[in-house]
């Protein structure tokens, strides 16, 4: 009996992760990923979902988006995401929410909806896809359901995808009304290998798998193996921030608090995805097959960015 019980427990732990929704044979061709054609006559509606308190780049991404409007895009909401880990402290989504509110106050954009996200991951510690209801998830649902026929909503997650995945799980019909953009994973373009051992994905692996499995959802991914090209120099950055008034001082203080004196450079992971979306000529994408353990379909993967062009454009707007 002493031997049997551990074996039964091990069997339980090893079989809790749900199987992919559908598998294909090794040589079966998976169609290219769908791509929504955004209409030119109306701005693209965007919700930004951010684990803002995690590090530095989230705040720079938000600042870039709210300080100067884009005629082709309409930011309709900024939601907060959890980022719990051993050094994060508790209630991480509330930490992100606090910084979101500070930045919106500083930029005069408190009119922008900024709903609170979930503070825990989707599903269970060993897998599964139980949604986490939250004001952020409900906001995504409401905005998606309010669209007219043929319209779509862009939802960009620059942290864990808990809120977006939960929204779709709560209201599956919104899946066809959303174009999702996420930062996460690593990807080997030569071997076509996925690596889920990455910060954002590890913050909610269940949610990441849910989105990969969500047939019909158009999904665009900026892997960190590409975003790492967008690394800024501290001295150059502080020089620009010195000309940006209170906002510049706020962003500099955040860099100094999180990075300390040793942070001579910082990779702007989140900003890379945001700028690639807003300025598609500064990045390129290819259609790739999802990992073998997930539903076999195609998604979009950014394979290159114009880091110099992005940097010039950023400081042309945040000043």
Please tell me the distance from the alpha carbon of residue 307 to that of residue 38, in angstroms, as a whole number: 25
Per-residue confidence (pLDDT) for residue 71, from 0 to 100: 80
Q: Are 226 and 303 in contact (CB under 8 A)?
A: yes
- Could you give phi then psi for residue 178, rounded to 5 degrees? -120, 140
Residue with tokens 């709903």: 115
Per-residue confidence (pLDDT) for residue 29, from 0 to 100: 67
- Can you state the angle between helices 307-317 and 269-278, rounded to 10 degrees? 80
For strands 178-183 and 218-222, give the pairing: parallel
pLDDT along the chain (319 residues), means of 10: 45 45 52 89 95 96 86 94 92 97 96 98 96 98 94 97 98 98 98 97 98 97 98 97 96 93 94 97 97 98 98 92
Per-residue confidence (pLDDT) for residue 156, from 0 to 100: 98
Please tell me the distance from the alpha carbon of residue 59 to that of residue 318, in angstroms, as a whole number: 12
Q: Are 225 and 193 in contact (CB under 8 A)?
A: no
- Could you give phi then psi for residue 133, rounded to 5 degrees? -70, 145
CATH topology of domain 43-317: Inosine-uridine Nucleoside N-ribohydrolase; Chain A (3.90.245)
Copy the structure tokens of residue 18.
């749900």
Per-residue confidence (pLDDT) for residue 11, from 0 to 100: 44
Per-residue confidence (pLDDT) for residue 28, from 0 to 100: 59
The H helix count followed by the E strand count for the chain is: 12, 11
Q: Are 117 and 123 in contact (CB under 8 A)?
A: no
Give the pTM: 0.91
Within a 10 A sphere around the Cβ of 205, how many other Cβ atoms? 20
Per-residue confidence (pLDDT) for residue 262, from 0 to 100: 86
């Amino acid at each position: 009996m002493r031997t049997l019980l551990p074996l039964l427990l091990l069997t339980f732990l090893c079989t809790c992760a749900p199987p992919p929704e559908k598998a294909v044979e090794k040589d079966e061709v998976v169609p290219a990923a769908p791509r929504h054609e955004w209409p030119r006559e109306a701005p693209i509606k965007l919700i930004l979902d951010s684990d803002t308190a995690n590090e530095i780049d989230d705040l720079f991404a938000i600042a870039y988006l709210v300080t100067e409007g884009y005629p082709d895009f309409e930011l309709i909401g900024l939601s907060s995401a959890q980022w719990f880990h051993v050094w994060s402290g508790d209630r991480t989504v509330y930490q992100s929410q606090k910084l979101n509110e500070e930045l919106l106050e500083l930029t005069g954009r408190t009119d922008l909806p900024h709903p609170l996200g979930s503070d825990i991951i989707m599903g269970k510690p060993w897998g599964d896809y139980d949604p986490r209801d939250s004001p952020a998830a409900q906001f995504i649902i409401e905005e998606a359901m309010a669209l007219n026929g043929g319209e779509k909503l862009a939802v960009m997650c620059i942290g864990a995808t808990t809120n977006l995945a939960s929204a779709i799980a709560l209201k599956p019909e919104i899946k066809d009304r959303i174009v999702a953009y996420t930062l996460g994973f690593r990807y080997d373009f030569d071997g076509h290998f996925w690596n889920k051992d990455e910060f954002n994905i590890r913050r909610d692996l269940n949610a990441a798998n849910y989105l990969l499995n969500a047939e019909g959802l158009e999904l665009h991914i900026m892997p960190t193996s590409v975003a790492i090209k967008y690394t800024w120099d501290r001295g150059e950055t502080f020089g620009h921030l010195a000309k940006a008034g209170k906002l510049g001082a706020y962003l500099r203080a955040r860099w100094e608090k999180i990075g300390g004196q040793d942070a001579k450079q910082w990779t702007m992971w989140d900003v890379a995805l945001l700028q690639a979306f807003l300025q598609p000529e500064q990045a390129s994408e290819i259609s790739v097959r999802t990992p073998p353990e997930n539903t076999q379909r195609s998604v979009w993967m950014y394979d290159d960015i114009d880091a110099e062009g992005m940097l010039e454009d950023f400081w042309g707007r945040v000043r």
